[in-house]
């Protein structure tokens, strides 16, 4: 008998429909699987046969041919276990189901027939949103994720046996109609540290406020223990809340990366703050690898990617960040095709000014030889440094100031100003594809950063004196535009430019 079962496979964050075609006939017992399966799919036969036996059925003793269609798409992962098991049972006549075309199956089987959660369920659910009659059958642990899409029929089952029983009963007991995203949205308290707990460092706080307002990349340079990392960790607390679209998009990426699904599933409702270790490889940072998983740059989408101890990262790994920083996405090419992952993030980094860490310190002496410093700085290339809008010097903390704790601004107050600046940008870019000042092209920068002749003269003279490249000059103008937005000013003035030039510490 022939059976066709519907399922989906992932290609990046997109879900692609896949048909599992099973033909079961009499003859010498055997099993053939065709249609570009990867090793996890090829191994599924062993899992499926054991799971079927554990559920009290049998599919051995027949000649079974399975085709995964379309044949030119590489099928990865273990989510095809459940559709394969159901297809084999139906093809061998173990039980019958009305309108099997209505059902879309996803799930990994264990040998005892229990279902384990799989990646990318949210993407599949979104592909099915137009089909009001379809039923998405997923492992119980994935049910919350599947029900983020409103109006979808979802059946969550914990084992193959439960799935069979439900199908026999026409899913009368477990089927739910999902309420959608808003029913899951509960206001939880932000988990990021607050700026009000940081004493002093007003200059750094101001610079991070500008970074947050225009989504500018930043680099903090300062002595060890000066509070660079702590300041950066407070940054998400002043970024505006995520929109619904952003939440869905980020959750999809995290769901495809296997980093969220579990019984206590929660979607990404706070701006991600990813801080990968400096020993990270190219694949873990940019994405790809055997399973073509998203990297840290994509997991930081709509949030912050923070690289602490920047010079300790492999130089090639850092260079690979240039493409996502410019494009807002990462394209990974393989022989089997190419995949694009969204990667629109704010990049932050921190480093010491020299290997010993004290060349900017007024109290401690730097013990580095000149060539050690040169080698240290040479780990960060000019083009990368050029792409960092705000290069911020973090002075060592004056211990005597630690006593005063009054009058410190909270993150909520700063966030209000950031939101105002972002409103100006929303208005400015409502007819274009970009969202923030940091993404403007040079032409847009010239148009939007309107200056009077005195301010322009000042900008050009300062850029010449500092030997800025053309790109460096435009970066300064973009930062000055954001500073003017924070003042709610239409024109960029000399004081905005003067402040913006301060943040070109290195180049
Ligand atoms: Zn030193």
How high is the pLDDT of residue 192? Answer: 86
Entry pTM: 0.88
> What's the pLDDT at 202?
87
Q: Are 118 and 84 in contact (CB under 8 A)?
A: no
Name 493's Cβ contacts closer than 8 Å, sequence gap at least 6.
451, 452, 455, 484
Distance CA 444, CA 226 (A): 37
In the chain, CATH 3.40.50.300 sits at 195-406
Candidates 3.30.930.10, 3.40.50.300, 3.40.50.720, 3.90.950.10; correct CATH number of 195-406? 3.40.50.300
CB–CB of 231/220 below 8 Å?
yes
What is the whole-number distance in angstroms between the Cα of residue 398 and the centre of ligand 1? 20
pLDDT at position 506 is 73
DSSP string across 1-54? -EEEEEEEEEETTEEEEEEEEEEEESSS-EEEEESSB-HHHHTHHHHHHHHHHH
Looking at the chain, the domain(s) classified CATH 3.30.230.10 span: 2-183
Cα(503) to centroid of ligand 1, in Å?
Answer: 22
> What's the CA gap between 359 and 70, in Å, rounded?
61
* Cα 225 to ligand 1 centroid, rounded to whole Å: 14
Domain 2-183 is of which CATH architecture?
Answer: 2-Layer Sandwich (3.30)
Q: 10 Å Cβ neighbour count for 2?
A: 12
Tell me the C-alpha distance between 413 and 403, whole Å: 23
* Centroid of ligand 1 to alpha carbon of 312 (angstroms): 15
| Nearest CA among 132, 130, 110, 108 for reference residue 120 | 108
The closest of 22, 103, 119 to 68, measured between CA atoms, is 22
**Which mean pLDDT values do the consecutive 10-residue runs of the chain (507 residues) have?**
91 90 86 81 86 89 87 83 92 86 92 91 90 89 85 91 88 75 64 85 92 94 89 92 88 80 68 93 88 89 94 91 89 81 93 89 86 89 87 80 72 92 92 90 90 92 90 92 93 92 80
2-11 vs 14-25, strand pairing mode = antiparallel
Angle 366-372-375 from CA coordinates, rounded to 5°: 135
Q: How far is the CA of 365 from the centre of ligand 1 (A)?
A: 8
Query: What is the distance in A from the centroid of ligand 1 to the CA of 476?
Result: 29
Instruction: For residue 418, say if its preceding peptide bond is cis, omega within 30 degrees of 0.
Output: no
84-117 b/e (C-beta count within 10 Å ≥ 16 → b): bbbbbbbbbebeebeebeebbbbbbbbeebbbbb
CA of 357 from ligand 1 middle (Å) equals 5
> Ligand 1 centre from 309 Cα, in Å?
15
């Amino acid at each position: 008998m022939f059976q066709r079962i519907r399922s989906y496979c992932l290609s990046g964050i997109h879900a692609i429909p896949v048909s599992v075609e099973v033909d079961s006939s009499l003859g010498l017992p055997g099993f053939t699987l065709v249609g570009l399966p990867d090793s996890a799919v090829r191994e599924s036969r062993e899992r499926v046969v054991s799971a079927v036996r554990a559920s009290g059925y049998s599919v051995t003793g027949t000649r079974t041919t399975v085709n995964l269609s379309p044949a030119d798409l590489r099928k990865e992962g273990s989510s095809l276990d459940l559709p394969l098991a159901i297809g084999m049972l139906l093809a061998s006549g173990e039980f019958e189901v009305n309108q099997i075309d209505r059902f879309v199956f996803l799930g990994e089987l264990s040998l005892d027939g229990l279902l384990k959660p799989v990646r990318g369920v949210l993407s599949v659910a979104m592909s099915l949103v137009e089909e009001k009659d379809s039923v998405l059958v997923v492992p119980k642990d994935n049910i919350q994720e599947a029900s983020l899409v409103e109006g979808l029929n979802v059946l969550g089952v914990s084992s193959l046996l439960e799935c069979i029983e439900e199908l026999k009963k026409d899913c009368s007991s477990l089927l739910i109609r999902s309420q959608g995203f808003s029913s899951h949205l509960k206001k939880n308290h932000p988990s990021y540290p607050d700026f009000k707990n940081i004493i002093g460092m007003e200059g750094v706080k101001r610079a991070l406020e500008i970074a947050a307002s225009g989504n500018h990349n930043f680099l903090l340079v300062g002595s060890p223990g000066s509070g660079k990392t702590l300041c950066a960790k407070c940054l998400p607390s002043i970024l505006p809340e995520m929109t619904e679209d952003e939440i869905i998009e980020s959750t999809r990426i995290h769901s495809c990366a296997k980093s969220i699904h579990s019984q206590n599933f929660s979607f990404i409702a706070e701006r991600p703050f990813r801080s990968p270790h400096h020993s990270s490889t190219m694949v873990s940072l940019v994405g790809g690898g055997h399973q073509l998983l998203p990297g840290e740059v994509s997991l930081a989408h709509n949030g912050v990617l923070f690289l602490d101890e920047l010079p300790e990262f492999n130089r090639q790994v850092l260079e690979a960040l240039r493409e996502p920083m410019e494009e807002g996405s990462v394209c990974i090419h393989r022989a089997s095709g190419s995949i694009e992952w969204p990667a629109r993030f704010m990049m932050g980094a921190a480093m010491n000014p020299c290997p010993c860490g004290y060349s900017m310190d007024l109290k401690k002496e730097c013990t580095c030889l000149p060539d050690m410093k040169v080698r240290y700085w040479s780990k960060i290339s000019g083009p990368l440094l050029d792409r960092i809008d705000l290069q911020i010097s973090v002075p060592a903390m004056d211990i005597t100031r630690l006593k005063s704790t009054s009058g410190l601004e909270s993150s909520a107050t700063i966030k209000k100003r950031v939101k105002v600046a972002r409103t100006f940008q929303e208005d400015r870019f409502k007819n274009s594809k970009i969202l923030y000042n940091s993404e403007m092209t040079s032409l847009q920068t010239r148009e939007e950063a309107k200056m009077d002749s005195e301010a322009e003269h000042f900008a050009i003279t300062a850029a010449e004196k500092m030997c800025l490249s053309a790109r460096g000059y435009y970066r300064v103008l973009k930062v000055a535009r954001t500073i003017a937005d924070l003042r709610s000013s239409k024109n960029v003035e000399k004081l905005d430019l003067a402040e913006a030039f301060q943040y070109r510490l290195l180049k």
